[in-house]
Amino acid sequence: MSESMKVTIRDVAKEAGVSPTTVSRALSRPGRVNLETATKVREVAERLGYRTKNLEPQNDDALRGMILTTASDLKYSVFADFVDGMQKPCLDRNFILLTAITEENRDLERSTIMRMTSQVDGLILTSSRLSDSTVRKAAQMRPTVVVNRLVSGVQSVISDDRPVLTKIVRRLKALGHRSISYVAGPDNSWQNGLRWQALLVACQREQIKLRRIAGPHLPTRATGSLMEDAFREFMRSPTTAVVLFNDIFALQFMDLLASADIRVPEQVSVIGIDDTPESARSNPPLATVHIPREEMGSDASSKLISKILHTSDGSTTPVVRYSTFIERESVGPAPDQPIPAVE
């Protein structure tokens, strides 16, 4: 047996500083690893005299070429934007992106993941309602990235809304507002907790009165009737400005204000979050917060593919993007007299 035949895939992996699986992929399917890694592996293999025909193919055969992402409801453009951002890195690296609709249902999300893990190479959980421990269990079964959520030990991609919410509070104060209501999202939403804490800190710093109002539990499928409870609670002690968990809440809230002959923004300023297409078409156009969803989706799939192909450095440091304030006609100066309370 010649000297070159004695060189094993493990020898090449050790010399190149990568795993044997990465060597296999770099030599047989270079599109599965980044260009720098593939080039380095090939140079090492050639220098050591390793023959690619000796590759063990079973590791490559284990790849399904598919990634699963979960989304609450694609009818709400927010989730469609995330998925759209995920698509390009998947296409570039020859992965198929599968999308499962979970309808804000924790049990459905869990059962979908359990049924699909054997069929896919990795998971992207978008605005997951699962517990941290359940997410970590999923990450033990398949490489996993979470979007709009921080989970210790799991790669996360998030939008930090704290700076923009501080900016909004300061803007409202400059317009003369001294009281703000926050219509909250689901209690198990990580974003909801982040936004409430950001508003609370900013209002305390600016000496603005802040009250929290419970919103519907199904933010992507909420109807006007579900918003009526939050509206009645608001009317018991009205503030001159309202920030709502998302644009769906905000648009329905403005409809209820109009039904009560309350003018926006002359009597109440309204701000949503998400910058959906509907927000720009409302009357008046809704002020909102733009979240870079497509960029976050791209970040998530790129990170996941790196984990699947063993080209990641192993770090789980969160990828952080920042949101921006889109000021529109639903925000104006505080009225001289707040609207009267209704019991």
Provide the number of structural domains found in the chain: 3
Is 285 found in the same domain as 166?
A: yes
Per residue in 145-182, pLDDT tens?
999 988 888 999 999 999 999 999 999 999 999 999 99
Whether 269 has a pLDDT exceeding 90, the answer reads yes
Same domain, 198 and 237: yes
- State yes or no: pLDDT of 53 exceeds 50: no
Within a domain: residue 72?
yes
Domain membership of residue 43 as a residue range: 9-48
Classify residue 142: in a domain, yes or no. Answer: yes
Average pLDDT, the chain: 86
111 with 81, same domain?
yes
User: Does the pLDDT value for residue 29 go beyond 60?
Assistant: no
CB 196 within 8 A of CB 162: no
Across 226-252, average pLDDT:
94
In a domain, 59, yes or no: no
**Residues 136 and 155 grouped into a single domain:** yes
Is the domain of 73 the same as that of 172? no
Do 188 and 261 have their domain in common? Answer: yes
17-26 pLDDT tens trace: 888 878 776 6
33 pLDDT more than 60: no
Contact 291, 313 (CB under 8 A): no
Please report which confidence band the pLDDT of residue 327 belongs to, taking 50, 70 and 90 as the band edges.
Answer: very high
Is residue 205 packed enough to be buried (19+ CB in 10 Å), middle (13-18) or exposed (0-12)?
exposed
pLDDT at position 34:
57
Q: What gap in Å lies between CA 39 and CA 170, rounded to an integer? A: 52
Residues 310 and 217 in one domain: no
What pLDDT digit, counting tens, does each position of 186-208 carry?
887 888 888 999 999 999 999 99
Asked if the structure places residue 329 within a domain, the reply is no
CA 122 – CA 70 distance, rounded (Å): 12
Q: What HEC string does the chain produce?
A: CCCHHHCCHHHHHHHHCCCHHHHHHHHHCHHHCCHHHHHHHHHHHHHHCCCHHHCCCHHHHCCCCEEEEEECCCCCHHHHHHHHHHHHHHHHCCCEEEEEECCCCHHHHHHHHHHHHHHCCEEEEECCCCCHHHHHHHHHHCCEEEECCCCCCCEEEEEECHHHHHHHHHHHHHCCCCEEEEECCCCCCHHHHHHHHHHHHHHHHHCCEEEEECCCCCCCCCCHHHHHHHHHHHHHCCCCEEEECCHHHHHHHHHHHHHCCCCCCCCCEEECCCCCHHHHHCCCCCEEEECCHHHHHHHHHHHHHHHHCCCCCCCCCCEEEECEEECCCCCCCCCCCCCCCCC
pLDDT tens digits, one per residue of 82-123: 999 999 999 999 999 999 998 878 899 999 999 998 899 999
Same domain, 255 and 169: yes
What's residue 64's pLDDT?
Answer: 87
User: Is the per-residue pLDDT at 211 higher than 70?
Assistant: yes
Same domain, 316 and 196: no
- The CA distance from 271 to 165, in Å, is 10
Query: Do residue 196 and residue 281 come from a single domain?
Result: yes
CATH code of residue 93:
3.40.50.2300
Residue 265 lies in a domain: yes
Choose the weakest-confidence range: 28-42, 101-115, 211-225, 283-297.
Answer: 28-42
Shared domain check, 286 and 169: yes
In degrees rounded to 5, what are phi and psi of residue 184?
-80, 165
The set of residues, in sequence order, having a beta carbon less than 8 Å from that of 173 and lying 6+ positions away, is 206, 208
At 265 the pLDDT is 97
| Residue 189 shares a structural domain with residue 251 | yes
- Of 67-71, 119-123, 220-224, least confident by mean pLDDT is 220-224
Give the angle subtended at the CA of 272 by the CAs of 209 and 318, to the nearest 5°.
Answer: 95
Q: What is the mean pLDDT of residues 44-71?
A: 67
Answer positive or negative: Cα dihedral of 121, 127, 129, 131.
positive
Q: Is residue 215 part of a domain?
A: yes
Give pLDDT, residue 27: 63
Assigned domain for 53 exists: no
Q: pLDDT confidence of 224, banded at 50, 70, 90?
A: low
Distance CA 136, CA 154 (A): 7
Residue 327 lies in a domain: no
Q: Is the pLDDT of residue 62 over 90?
A: no
Residue 335 or 313, more confident: 335
